[in-house]
Amino acid sequence: MTILLAMAIFALVTSISPGPVNILATVTGANCGYLRTVPHIMGATLGFVTILFLLGFGLSQFLSEAPYLTDILTYLGGAFLLYLSYKVATQNPLSDSEEDNTSAPSLFQGIMCQWLNPKAWIVSLAGISVFFHDNSAELEKLLIFCSIFFVVCYASISVWAVLGVTIRSILSTPRHFKLFNIVMGLLLAVTVLYTFSLSN
């Protein structure tokens, strides 16, 4: 029970903290509503859990022997997320009639947001190193860890999406929406750069 509680706390702290995926969930929630954000939430959750499972299954040892692959992923991911921050900042304000026709992140895009997110790799590597001796995970224990993270990650990203929906009720004019998108785009860029500095 102690180890399960520790895993749950680790999952909550790392999943609920600000990061690119959570910021995108907030922006999508504010611009498109919660239901349109669900594919992003599910994709991001699946993407993270997949990373966690593969690292626990042996990928972490492979990456430790080829650190240049981690560097390549970090640069590619950082560039992709900075591009997303630009898209967020320049997104046009929406009217209620436009909401249904507005493009929200798909399931696949949610997965890629995690796979190209340096924070997801840092957190996953930290989790494997903390809870599994010599980074080698027993399959049953690894599956439990992944299951805990699936539930907590989905719930945490949902909280950020609901925050966006709540903010939407405050943004009464297109000008407010535009300002919100600019601020969130800048916040996303700052978060990406900060996460990028942690991985170096």
Please give the structure tokens belonging to residue 112. 């890629």
pLDDT at 111: 94
Domain ranges, ordered by start, for the chain: 21-26+35-91+105-198
In total, the chain counts a number of residues equal to: 200
3-state secondary structure of 117: coil
Q: Which amino acid is at 57?
A: F
Average pLDDT, the chain: 83
What residues have CB less than 8 Å from 165, skipping those under 6 apart?
29, 30, 33, 34
- How many whole angstroms separate alpha carbon 69 and alpha carbon 52? 17
* Confidence label for 73 from pLDDT (cuts 50, 70 and 90): confident
- Has residue 94 got a pLDDT over 60? no
* Confidence label for 173 from pLDDT (cuts 50, 70 and 90): confident
* Confidence label for 181 from pLDDT (cuts 50, 70 and 90): confident
> Phi, psi (5° rounding) for residue 67?
-60, -20
Closest CA to 171 of 31, 3, 2: 31
